[in-house]
Amino acid sequence: MHSVSEASAQTTGRYRLLGHPTDLAGHVATLGPAPLPSGNARGWHEAFVSVLEASGLAGRGGAGFPSAIKLAVAHAAGKGGTIVVNAMEGEPASDKDKLLLIRSPHLVLDGAQLLAAATSARRVMVCVPEGREQVAAAVSLAMAERAAAGCAPVEEVLVRPPDRFVAGEESALARWIESGQSLPSFRPDKGTPLRIGRKGALVHNAETLAHVAMIARTGPDAFRAHGLVEDPGTSLVTISGAVEHPGVVEIDRGTPLIDIANRATPTGVPQALLVGGYGGSWVDPVHFTTPYASLSLRAIGATAGVGIVIVLGPDACGLMESARIAHYMAGQSAGQCGPCVYGLPAIADDMTRLARGHVDAGLMARLERRLREVHGRGACRHPDGAVNLVRSALSVFAADVATHAHGTPCGWGSRTSQLRFPPAWRAA
């Protein structure tokens, strides 16, 4: 077995997640086998943790939590747990994890096996939602190859949770595996270990696990050769909206937002960028040169989130697009607490009235009050994401807010949305 951080002799080219062979034989020929411990590999766990910590890898699923700390929490929860591959990707505008599992499933599964070895887990569960048949087929084929070749020392199982936005929240996913209910649990921070039954559970999205597999092969320096000192590595970003070439790109952390958008060739001068997904934030042109990095984005009220950049073209109504997102988010809650059940639909209705110019004297004050009342009061972060999105819209499109509030909407609101939603979904 290869030792952790030993650069594979077969690994060529710069650090990247995409572009590797899909089949197991090609995967191993290109990258070498996953550097899992042999039966008597003393010190393997310490070496693996050291490499992961030195890399500075933060999760790519939305929260950006340090992977080494998350591993330590799971390890402390005891042996016999579960590694959960979160391939739910409930954000309608995101394709990065789907693409990884179709093109590089073995890289993701290698990452899960490495974490299973590091935590003494007894199973790996890959969660692909119902309806994603192409992804499920790619994962099933990869698992069969690995089982036949003896490359899966810990059992790998594919499961199919419901395809809902909140079902991909990690505590909701753990609960679904245990009970069949996709309900998130209140967790003040990620230092609180997740459990499935009495055993620990470590949940990571597909991209994070692919990074784990690459870092274990090439060492932390190859990862840190990209990005920033304080925010290293690469990220997969799905670009969509008013662009000629929507799709997934791999970028260095710290790349300016406008440079990411330009990778997809905007069809006109963007009036705003939606960064982080439907629970993210609108960014106005004055901040387009902001680096795609945690601290820089936080300074302008945004986050990288789940790796989404949406270009809003010049012929769209940012308020109406935000109202559509608000309605979508309101319909995707778990329905277990008041802020989601009552607060989000009310906020969405207020946003629609504003976008259409149907504004009564108390609407703006009512909307602001509802935003305050909902924020921070949900069992999970779902309502907070919706509130952040709406607040950013009111700020970035402030000029439109003023005209719409006076009953003179821009006229772009009746146009087809530039955003992506599930085919069966329709805004209220």
Residue 411: its pLDDT value, please? 78
Q: Which of 120, 124, 129, 123 is nearest to 172 (CA)?
A: 129
State residue 313's pLDDT score.
96
Contact between residue 209 and residue 115 where contact means Cβ atoms under 8 Å apart: yes
> Would you state the pLDDT for residue 189?
63
CA distance 49 to 25: 28
Tens of pLDDT along the chain (428 residues) come to 333 333 333 333 478 998 888 999 999 999 999 999 987 777 899 999 999 999 999 988 877 788 888 898 888 888 989 999 999 998 899 999 999 999 999 999 999 999 999 999 999 999 999 999 999 999 999 999 999 999 999 999 999 999 888 777 888 888 899 998 877 776 666 567 888 888 989 999 999 999 999 999 999 999 999 999 999 999 999 999 999 999 999 999 999 999 999 999 999 999 999 999 999 999 999 999 999 999 999 999 999 989 999 999 999 999 999 999 999 998 887 677 777 777 889 999 999 999 999 989 899 999 999 999 988 776 677 888 899 999 999 999 999 999 998 888 887 877 889 999 987 766 54
Q: Which residues contact 377 (CB under 8 A, 6 or more apart)?
A: 337, 338, 339, 383
* Cβ–Cβ < 8 Å for 340, 349: no
Q: Which stretch of DSSP H or E encloses residue 126?
A: strand 123-127
Give the H or E element holding residue 157.
strand 155-159
Q: What structural domains does the chain harbor?
A: 24-224 (3.40.50.11540), 234-312 (3.10.20.600), 318-405 (1.20.1440.230)
Per-residue confidence (pLDDT) for residue 7, from 0 to 100: 34
Would you state the pLDDT for residue 272? Answer: 98
What are phi and psi for residue 364, nearest 5 degrees? -65, -40
- Give Dmax over CA atoms of the chain in angstroms: 74
- Alpha-carbon distance of 345 to 366, in angstroms, equals 13
Is residue 89 left, alpha or beta, with left meaning phi > 0 and alpha meaning psi from -120 to 50? left
**Secondary-structure percent of the chain, ordered helix, strand, coil, rounded to 5:** 45, 15, 45
Under 8 Å between Cβ of 86 and 127: yes
Contact (CB, 8 A) for 382 and 346: no
Q: What number of residues does the chain have?
A: 428
196 in helix, strand or coil?
strand
